[in-house]
Amino acid sequence: MQRRPFLSTVAVVSLLALAACGGGGGDAAPSPSPTPAPVSPGVLSISAMPRLDPFPTTPQQYATVAQEAFDLAWSAGARGQMNTWTWRAMEPTAGTFATQPFADLAAAVATAAGRGMVQYVGLQPINTGVLELPVDLAGQALDSTVVQNRFKALLDRVIVPNRGRIRYLSLGNEVDAYLRAHPADWARYTRFFTAMVAYAKQLDPALQVGVTATAEGALSLSTAELRTLNAASDVVVLTYYPLQFSGAGEVRVRGPGVVAADFAALLAFAGAKPLLLQEVGYPAAASTGSSVQQQAQFVRNVFAAWKAAPARVPFLNVFLMHDFTAQMCADFVVYYGATGSSTFADFLCTLGLRQADGTKRPAWDALVEEAHAAGLP
């Protein structure tokens, strides 16, 4: 994307002086046309993980750091909010719905509605490589009547009380990772997803429903399967981390310069449908081949690519505000089955644009500057 040239400070001072003295004689030069205001490329969201070092030990302390994180996101120009839960977290077993996730959902939706924010909700029968059905449904086919009816009951509880206040709904997170390991389930999940999209839109016709996949899956690993799965979707939803993995599961970043070409390819995959970027992230760890400078440049390149495709990407969520704690990272490594990798934890633990104690990385200032330049509030 080409940027408009800018005037140096010296040039600006010279022009002001020239105007003040009438331009040195003769007819006054016509006033320059005002510079058009930047056009906002879409809605920015930031996964507002609060600073957790030191770890808050009381509800009041957590409320304080959570509000601080929300305020940071708001002041940076975020007017979107993403909240996701696994199906099992919301319904651990048959008909027993957990209290906290629904309370959190109600609070999030109320906050978004009160602030005029765009609400994105993810419900995850599959979360990356893990099947997250309620425990009593273990062994049931994903497209079975019992699984579909149970998920419809979950949709009733999520959508009906919030009708008209959730704009985007994703059914499954990075599902291609699990489905590549269980190829017989591609067709089953496609039938399940197609039926659930139809049911969700019966409950709220204004909902825009999709299913989240990885950028790698869309562009190379599962392109045909994801095209088929997305036939029923209103929006194409992807996560974007420009990484490469070795056979041993070691994580290495690709250079920030790949962003423009990657965005073009992702938009081509989305075709005529809007592209939502549920997670856009880049680690800062040296062990992954990165640095804090590369992370900051990645942020700037993402905004440049986003502005180059106005209206094509109506929602972009930056992941992550603050780093996870070391214990959270260790737990995620086990959850994702990456205990044999020496770099996966470093990838997870340095995704934040700010460290866990609140210290800014250069990427945070890059985000704030680019969001302002993009015309975000």
CB atoms within 10 A of CB 372: 13
Total domain count for the chain? 2
Q: How confident is the model at residue 35 (pLDDT cuts 50, 70, 90)?
A: low
pTM of the model: 0.90
From 206, 234, 262, the end of a domain falls on: 234
Convert the pLDDT of each residue in 299-334 to its tens digit.
999 999 999 998 999 999 999 999 999 999 999 999
Convert the pLDDT of each residue in 202-248 to its tens digit.
999 999 999 999 999 999 999 999 999 999 999 999 999 999 988 77
Convert the pLDDT of each residue in 238-292 to its tens digit.
999 999 988 778 999 999 999 999 999 999 999 999 999 999 999 999 999 999 9
Q: Are residues 266 and 354 in the same domain?
A: yes
Q: How far apart are CA 27 and CA 87, in angstroms?
A: 72
CB atoms within 10 A of CB 170: 24
Convert the pLDDT of each residue in 79-130 to its tens digit.
999 999 999 999 999 989 999 999 999 999 999 999 999 999 999 999 999 9
Q: Which domain holds residue 273?
A: 49-77+242-377
Residue 20 has pLDDT above 60, yes or no: no
Q: Are residues 118 and 156 in the same domain?
A: yes
Tokens 């930056």 -> residue:
318
Q: Are residues 73 and 134 in the same domain?
A: no
Q: Are residues 295 and 335 in the same domain?
A: yes
From 234, 263, 298, the end of a domain falls on: 234
Q: Are residues 354 and 296 in the same domain?
A: yes
Q: Are residues 229 and 306 in the same domain?
A: no
Q: Which long-range contacts (CB under 8 A, 24 or more apart) does 66-72 make?
A: 69/321, 69/322, 70/111, 72/46, 72/48, 72/321
Q: 3-state SS of the chain: helix, strand, coil percent to 5? A: 45, 15, 35
Q: Are residues 202 and 254 in the same domain?
A: no
From 193, 211, 234, the end of a domain falls on: 234
Q: Are residues 225 and 253 in the same domain?
A: no
Q: Are residues 62 and 91 in the same domain?
A: no
Structure-token pair, residue 61: 């302390």
Query: How many CA within 13 A on the CB side of residue 328?
Result: 15
Residue 40: per-residue pLDDT = 84
Residue in 186, 247, 239, 194 with CA at minimum distance from that of residue 217: 239
Q: What is the DSSP letter of 222?
A: S
CA angle 89, 93, 98 (to 5 degrees): 45
Percentage of the chain with pLDDT > 70? 90
3-state SS class at 52: coil
